[in-house]
Amino acid sequence: MSQGSNFVDYVKVSCKSGKGGPGSAYLHRDKKTAMGGPAGGDGARGGHVIVRGNAQLWTLLHLKYRKHVMAGDGGAGGATMKSGKMGRDEILEVPLGTIAKDAETGEVLFEITKDGEEQIILDGGKGGLGNAHFKSPTNQTPRYAQPGMPGQEAWKILELKVLADVGLVGFPNAGKSTLLSVITAAKPEIGDYPFTTIVPNLGLVSYRGQSSFIMADIPGIIEGASEGKGLGFRFLRHIERNSVLLFMVPADTSRTIKEEYDILLKELTVYNPELLQKPKIIAVTKADLLDEELQKEMQAQLPKEMPSIFISSIANKGLIELKDLLWKAINS
Give rounded-to-5 percent helix, strand, coil for the chain. Answer: 20, 25, 50
Pairing of strands 68-70, 118-122: unpaired
Q: What is the CATH classification number for the domain harbouring 132?
A: 2.70.210.12
Q: Which of 295, 219, 225 is nearest to 263 (CA)?
A: 225
The predicted pLDDT at position 214 comes to: 81
Alpha-carbon span 189 to 100, nearest angstrom: 30
Q: Within this chain, do residues 169 and 143 fall inside the same structural domain, yes or no?
A: no
Name 309's bridge partners.
283
Q: Within this chain, do residues 243 and 120 fall inside the same structural domain, yes or no?
A: no
* DSSP string over 141-179: S----PPPPP--EEEEEEEE---EEEEEE--TTSSHHHH
Phi, psi (rounded to 5 degrees) for 61: -55, -40
Q: Are 53 and 119 in contact (CB under 8 A)?
A: no
Q: Within this chain, do residues 93 and 189 fall inside the same structural domain, yes or no?
A: no
Q: What is the CATH classification number for the domain harbouring 220?
A: 3.40.50.300
Tally of domains in the chain: 2
Name 51's bridge partners.
92, 119
Q: Within this chain, do residues 120 and 57 fall inside the same structural domain, yes or no?
A: yes
Q: Within this chain, do residues 173 and 27 fall inside the same structural domain, yes or no?
A: no
Rounded to the nearest 5 degrees, what angle is found at the Cα of 121, between the Cα atoms of 151 and 237? Answer: 150
Q: Are 309 and 318 in contact (CB under 8 A)?
A: yes
* Residue after which a domain boundary falls, among 144, 160, 176: 160
The predicted pLDDT at position 240 comes to: 67
Q: Which parts of the chain have pLDDT scores under 50?
A: 1-5, 188-198, 223, 225-226, 230-232
The predicted pLDDT at position 66 comes to: 86
Which amino acid is it at 155? Answer: W
Burial of 32 (0-12, 13-18, 19+ CB in 10 A): exposed
Q: Within this chain, do residues 33 and 112 fall inside the same structural domain, yes or no?
A: yes
SS3 233: helix
Q: In what order do the strands lie in the sheet containing 164-169?
A: 201-207, 211-217, 164-169, 242-250, 280-285, 308-310
Q: Within this chain, do residues 152 and 52 fall inside the same structural domain, yes or no?
A: yes
Q: Within this chain, do residues 92 and 190 fall inside the same structural domain, yes or no?
A: no
Q: Which domain holds residue 9?
A: 1-160
* Residue after which a domain boundary falls, among 130, 160, 190: 160
Q: Within this chain, do residues 91 and 23 fall inside the same structural domain, yes or no?
A: yes
* DSSP string over 264-331: HHHHHHHH-GGGGGS-EEEEEE-GGG--HHHHHHHHHHS-TTS-EEE-BTTTTBSHHHHHHHHHHHHT
Q: What is the DSSP letter of 258?
A: H
The predicted pLDDT at position 205 comes to: 83
Q: Within this chain, do residues 302 and 225 fall inside the same structural domain, yes or no?
A: yes
Give this prediction's pTM: 0.63
Alpha-carbon span 233 to 59, nearest angstrom: 18
* Residue after which a domain boundary falls, among 160, 191, 224: 160
